[in-house]
């Protein structure tokens, strides 16, 4: 669950110039108000919204008491069904907001063990609000004066933001996620902290001596469990703190940090932990957990463990092993932080045969009956905004992937033994249901037909019986009960085999259909069980130390493939099937810590039976429990909530004093930023207004400004030139999004007026050189393309390209004082070098150019070449002074070799700095500028070369930057030896 409280992220979400609407523009929102919440939902989610409204105030009462804080404002809650993957987001700046994607979570997401998934998510995210929002002491004063601000784009406002934003915003991720996961576990019947998945992670880490240090959960470690580390060990730390220092310690800590300046986290810890710091308490927690898990391991070790044989280990997270129909090959979904997700096909010994790429997905696989194709689901962007899964097929002989459905939201698709029918899970409006699809003679599919009609419940893992007459699957309700069920295709009946108050998952038929294998945690460990269909009883098949998921029987029935858990991820292993070793009596068991229903129900009876229907699976809009909502209005959340002062210059001695504010409605339909300032020396005001409209397609942006602008060292003669730059622009932007590629088309009209603020000499010159004053009105159009990919271990983008084209037309017919056509283009290519060691070596190529065809350009408008790369330097040339060359035409090129040096993946305790990667680059830059008086000549091309040492670091627990120290030598006229420092925000 992605709970981002960092205000810089909120700034990007709320007030930056967006390139796309944030939500599907076909969604129409309504609002339900409770005493402390405003719940916004779109069509199809009325029932879910009513349920959320019914539980919200109870959650509010419990968590505000726990954290000893009541927010001064209503918390805005947005329910949205725009993804097939569960997620959440909590933001406290400039107002408290929760976003929830309403889809039942899969077990593999670590959220899959729950009693009520919506309650679990709501509790987790609201815990973020009440732990991050508190203000005490100085922060209570600053909130009264400034509100909860976002920074402007200048150093002063960033400093002011640090001392005026809620102090808890700047706590480490493990603190935020630990608090929220602990609260979710305490105040729901399940929660991740009470689940067998988390316990499996802790047990394996202790057994294999692979425990992270506190600095590693501060940072962004790419290795398993990577992004889950702050949740897992942050929860375990907070649980230990509550058990050791008192159940009210969460509130004491939240309030203690709320009166301290950012990053001074030791004092509140020492005050509550008897003089110990978080680092020391984390060490105590690790020792306590080692003792706890050592006892649990001893309990499990009373009986010999089932022998597992490794089959395939290349990769970090290996899932969904599937035998081919003839048993000669195995297909596996492979995820790894060093590479793209792939489907790997091996022989039965685990030797790789082939592989193909796969996008974001649920990981499931299904072979065609002839073994020539593999069916799978994966995500693509739907309607420009939504992340929905569809059915694809990969032809192994032709090495070609074909999409078979569009926007059907299918998961866990399985093909029938005759290849004519598919079973799948379809998601819709917070509910999941079993559906069937048929294939036509060309292999395409028809629209799915629902065969169940569950509301707000999870359906998972449908598998056809060997004869194709039945489908087994698992239903998980919102009381914590899982049922193994069978749907009879001929009779069109649906019946339960058994129900349990613990996890039941991943059923798979034996080849002779005598039993159904499945995974259960009834022993406290994810073990394999078998349900005998003739006897109507279950047997324990495996006894494992760590656990395993996704059993797959071989076609001859002699062995099972498993996704075996290790502290470094899931690996593929196998075990022999020996029915003489199966037992009705459960082996050594660990106590389950969750409060869920008992499971002793006879076969054929399942809780929460619902009538079967062939209608669509969705929450009923007519539910009496769902109150009618009012039409959404943006105004209540659109008004300004904060302000901060600004201080900048409009001359070498002039000081400009002002203020800014920003805002956005909770759906992001309207966002704005406004700055106003006054110069006492020049006796004039300045302003900037930026407004985005994302309520329909395309995005519309309006900007108006009158601000001073500095041309430092204009004409490279040591003189600065100050200009008043004022104007208005209107832009339309059309995004065309795919999951791994993006286009953006833009067009607009701009009115610009440039006037001198610096004192000019007669004739409008600066030290004898003319400067431009007047109108530069223009129309513009452009296109951006990006399909670059980067992986957690990458030191740079590794594959793909970026292309940007922009055209501006200035004409006196448009009100401009010049006639000019201006063209610019940037092309960037990333090529991953196929070298074994070190991995992630990249060859980077950048070509950039621009030309201005028309009236002669003055210094302010000329293209300028030289200096180190930065966000403000469009045409860098290392080894030459910044802006050392200028003209109407410019062409540059860069070739870089980039390679990793080492991966420290370390910090110092809880200090807010984490070193991820150290890497270097060898580069060659070339460029030339020319104009109507000086034509292009090859021997005038400037060439520079050098080396950069770069480091990827995380600062303030959240902000990722890449500082670089470089040396460059210029080989031609005006070249020099340079030692420079620059900062990259995204290589």
DSSP characters for 255-324? HHHTTS-TT--HHHHHHHTTT--HHHHHHHHHHHHHHHHHHHHHHHTTSPPPP-EEEE-SSSEEEEEEE-
The model's confidence at residue 442, banded by pLDDT at 50, 70 and 90, is low
What was the pLDDT predicted at 608? Answer: 37
Residue 858: which of 772, 788, 974 has the closest Cα?
772
* DSSP 8-state class, residue 151: -
The pLDDT of residue 761: 80
pLDDT digits (tens, 9 = 90+) for 533-591: 999 999 999 999 999 999 999 999 999 999 999 999 999 999 999 999 999 989 899 98
Condensed to tens digits (0 to 9), the pLDDT of residues 32-85 reads: 999 999 999 999 999 999 999 999 999 999 999 999 999 999 999 999 999 999
The CA-to-CA distance between both ends of the chain, in Å, stands at 26
Q: Is the pLDDT of residue 382 over 50?
A: yes
Burial of 430 (0-12, 13-18, 19+ CB in 10 A): buried
Distances 843 to 785, 796, 901 between C-alpha atoms, Å: 19, 10, 15
Structure tokens that stand for 137 in this block: 């002491």
Nearest alpha-carbon partner for 19 in 758, 737, 985: 737
Say if CB 921 and CB 869 are below 8 A apart. no
Q: Residue 601, class by beta-carbon neighbours within 10 Å (0-12 exposed, 13-18 middle, 19+ buried)?
A: middle
Task: Give, as one character, the DSSP assignment of residue 380.
Answer: E
Give the largest CA-CA distance in the chain.
104
Q: What is the pLDDT of residue 928?
A: 95
Nearest to 337 by CA among 229, 177, 213: 229
Q: How many CA atoms lie within 13 A of 233 on its CB side?
A: 32
pLDDT value at 637 more than 50: yes
10 Å CB burial of residue 492 (0-12, 13-18, 19+) is: exposed
The model's confidence at residue 12, banded by pLDDT at 50, 70 and 90, is very low
pLDDT tens for 699-717 read 999 999 999 998 776 666 6
Asked if residue 656 lies in contact with residue 678, where contact means CB atoms within 8 angstroms, the answer is yes
- Count of beta carbons in the 10 Å neighbourhood of residue 621: 12
- What is the pLDDT of the chain when averaged over all its residues? 91
**Residues sharing a CB contact under 8 Å with residue 924, sequence separation 6 or more, in sequence order:** 894, 895, 896, 943, 944, 945
Cα separation of 915 and 918, whole Å? Answer: 8
HSE-CB of 412 using CA atoms within 13 angstroms: 30
Share of the chain above pLDDT 90, in %: 81
- pLDDT band at residue 654, thresholds of 50, 70 and 90? confident
Q: Which residue has the tokens 């790894």?
A: 336
Per-residue pLDDT band for 718 (boundaries 50, 70, 90) equals low
Bridge pairing between strands 75-80 and 97-101: parallel
The two three-digit tokens of residue 299, written as one number: 């309990």
Res 887: pLDDT? 85
* Dist. CA 203–CA 546, nearest whole Å: 7
Strands 559-566 and 569-576, bridge-based pairing: antiparallel
- Secondary structure tally for the chain: helices H, strands E: 13, 52
- pLDDT value for 801: 97
User: CA of 462: how far to CAs of 414, 452, 559, in Å?
Assistant: 7, 12, 21
Measured distance CA(438)–CA(426) in Å, rounded: 15
- Per-residue CA distances from 955 to 562, 874, 912 (Å): 40, 26, 6
- Which carries the bigger pLDDT value, residue 56 or residue 604? 56
pLDDT given for residue 218 in this prediction = 84
User: For residue 613, is pLDDT > 80?
Assistant: no
Token couple for 438: 């048929």
pLDDT, mean of residues 163-173: 95
Provide the strand spans (E) within 739-862. Answer: 741-756, 765-766, 769-770, 774-775, 778-786, 800-810, 820-832, 842-854
Assigned token pair, 437: 């699809």
For each of the domains in the chain, give its residue range(s) and CATH number, in order of start: 7-300 (1.10.390.10), 309-581 (2.120.10.30), 638-775 (no CATH), 835-987 (no CATH)
The number of CA neighbours under 13 Å toward the Cβ of 248 is 6
């Amino acid at each position: 669950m992605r709970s981002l409280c960092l205000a810089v992220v909120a700034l990007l979400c709320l007030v930056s110039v967006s390139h796309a609407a944030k939500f599907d523009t076909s969604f129409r929102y309504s609002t339900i108000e409770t005493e402390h919440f405003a719940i916004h939902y779109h069509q199809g989610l009325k029932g879910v919204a009513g349920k959320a409204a019914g539980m919200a105030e109870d959650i509010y009462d419990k968590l505000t008491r726990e954290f000893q804080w009541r927010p001064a404002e209503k918390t805005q809650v947005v329910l949205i069904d725009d993804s097939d993957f569960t997620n959440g987001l909590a933001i406290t700046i400039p107002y408290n907001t929760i976003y929830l994607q309403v889809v039942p979570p899969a077990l593999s997401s670590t959220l899959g063990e729950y009693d009520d998934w919506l309650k679990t998510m709501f509790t987790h995210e609201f815990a973020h609000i009440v732990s991050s929002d508190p203000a005490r002491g100085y922060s209570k004063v600053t909130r009264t004066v400034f509100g909860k601000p976002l920074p402007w784009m200048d150093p002063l406002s960033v400093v002011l933001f640090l001392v005026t934003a809620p102090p808890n915003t700047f706590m480490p991720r493990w603190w935020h996620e630990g608090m929220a996961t602990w609260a979710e576990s305490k105040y729901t019947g399940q929660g991740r902290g009470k689940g067998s998945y988390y316990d499996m992670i802790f047990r394996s880490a202790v057994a294999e001596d692979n425990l992270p240090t506190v600095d590693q959960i501060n940072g962004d470690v790419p290795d398993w469990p990577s992004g889950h580390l702050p949740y897992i060990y942050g929860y375990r730390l907070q649980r230990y703190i509550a058990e050791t220092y008192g159940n009210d310690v969460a509130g004491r800590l939240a309030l203690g940090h709320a009166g301290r300046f950012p990053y001074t986290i030791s004092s509140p810890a020492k005050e509550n932990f008897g003089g110990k710091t978080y680092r020391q308490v984390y060490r105590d927690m690790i020792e306590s957990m080692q003792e706890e898990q050592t006892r649990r391991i001893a309990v499990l070790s009373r009986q010999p463990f089932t022998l597992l044989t490794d089959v395939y280990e290349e990769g970090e997270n290996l899932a969904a092993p599937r035998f081919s129909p003839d048993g000669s090959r195995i297909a596996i979904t492979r995820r790894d932080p060093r590479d793209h997700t792939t489907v790997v096909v091996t022989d039965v010994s685990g030797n790789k045969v082939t592989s193909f790429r796969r996008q974001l997905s649920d990981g499931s696989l299904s072979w065609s009956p002839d073994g020539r194709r593999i069916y799978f689901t994966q995500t693509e962007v739907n309607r420009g905004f939504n992340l929905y899964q569809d059915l694809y097929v990969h032809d192994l002989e032709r090495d070609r992937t074909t999409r078979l459905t569009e926007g059907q939201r299918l998961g866990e698709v399985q093909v029938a033994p005759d290849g004519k029918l598919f079973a799948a899970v379809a998601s819709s409006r917070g509910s999941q249901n079993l559906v069937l699809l048929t294939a036509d003679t060309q292999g395409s599919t028809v629209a799915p037909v629902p065969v169940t009609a569950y509301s707000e419940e999870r359906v998972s893992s449908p598998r056809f019986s060997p004869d194709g007459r039945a489908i087994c699957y698992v239903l998980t309700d919102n009381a914590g009960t899982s049922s193994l069920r069978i749907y009879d295709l001929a009779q069109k009946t649906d019946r339960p085999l058994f129900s349990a108050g613990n996890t039941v998952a991943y059923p798979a038929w034996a080849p002779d259909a005598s039993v159904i294998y499945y995974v259960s945690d009834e022993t406290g460990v994810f073990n394999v069980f078998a349900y005998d269909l003739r006897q109507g009883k279950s047997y324990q098949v495996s006894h494992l130390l760590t656990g395993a998921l996704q059993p797959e029987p071989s076609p001859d029935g002699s062995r099972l493939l498993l996704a075996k858990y290790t502290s470094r991820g899931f690996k593929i292993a196998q075990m022999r099937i020996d029915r003489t070793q199966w037992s009705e009596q459960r082996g050594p068991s660990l106590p389950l810590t969750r409060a869920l229903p008992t499971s002793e129900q006879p076969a054929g009876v399942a809780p929460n039976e619902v009538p079967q229907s062939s209608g669509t699976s969705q929450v009923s809009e007519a539910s009496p429990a769902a109150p009618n909502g009012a039409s959404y209005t943006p105004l209540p959340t659109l008004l300004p909530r904060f302000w901060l002062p600004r201080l900048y210059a409009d001359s070498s001695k002039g000081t400009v004093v002002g203020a800014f504010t920003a805002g956005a409605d909770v759906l992001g339909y309207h966002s704005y930023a406004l700055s106003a300032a006054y110069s006492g020396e020049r006796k004039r005001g300045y302003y900037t207004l930026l407004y985005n409209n994302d309520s329909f397609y395309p995005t519309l942006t309006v900007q108006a400004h009158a601000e001073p602008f500095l041309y430092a060292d204009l004409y490279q003669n040591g003189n600065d030139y100050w200009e008043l730059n004022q104007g208005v622009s209107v832009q339309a932007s059309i995004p065309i999004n795919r999951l791994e590629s993006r286009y953006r088309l833009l067009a607009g009209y701009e009115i610009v007026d440039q006037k001198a603020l610096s004192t000019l000499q007669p004739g409008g010159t600066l030290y004898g050189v003319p400067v431009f004053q007047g109108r530069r009105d223009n129309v513009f159009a452009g296109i951006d393309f990006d399909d670059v990919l980067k992986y957690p271990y990458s030191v740079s983008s590794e594959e793909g390209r970026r292309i940007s084209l922009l055209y501006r037309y200035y004409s006196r017919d448009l009100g401009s004082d010049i006639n000019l056509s201006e063209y610019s283009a940037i092309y960037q290519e990333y090529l991953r070098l196929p070298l074994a060691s070190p991995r992630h070596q990249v060859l980077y190529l950048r070509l950039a150019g621009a030309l201005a065809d028309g009236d002669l350009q003055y210094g302010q408008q000329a293209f300028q070449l030289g200096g180190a790369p930065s966000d403000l330097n469009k045409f860098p040339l290392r080894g030459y002074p910044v802006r050392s060359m200028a003209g109407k035409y410019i062409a540059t090129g860069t070739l870089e070799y980039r390679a990793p040096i080492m991966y420290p993946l370390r910090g110092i305790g809880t200090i807010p700095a984490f070193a991820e990667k150290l890497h270097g680059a060898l580069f060659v830059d070339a460029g030339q500028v020319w104009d109507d008086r000086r034509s292009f000549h090859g021997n005038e091309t400037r060439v520079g070369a050098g080396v950069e040492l770069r480091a990827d670091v995380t600062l303030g627990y959240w902000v990722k930057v890449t500082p670089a120290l470089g040396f460059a030598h210029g080989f031609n006229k005006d070249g020099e030896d340079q030692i420079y420092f620059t900062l990259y925000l995204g290589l």
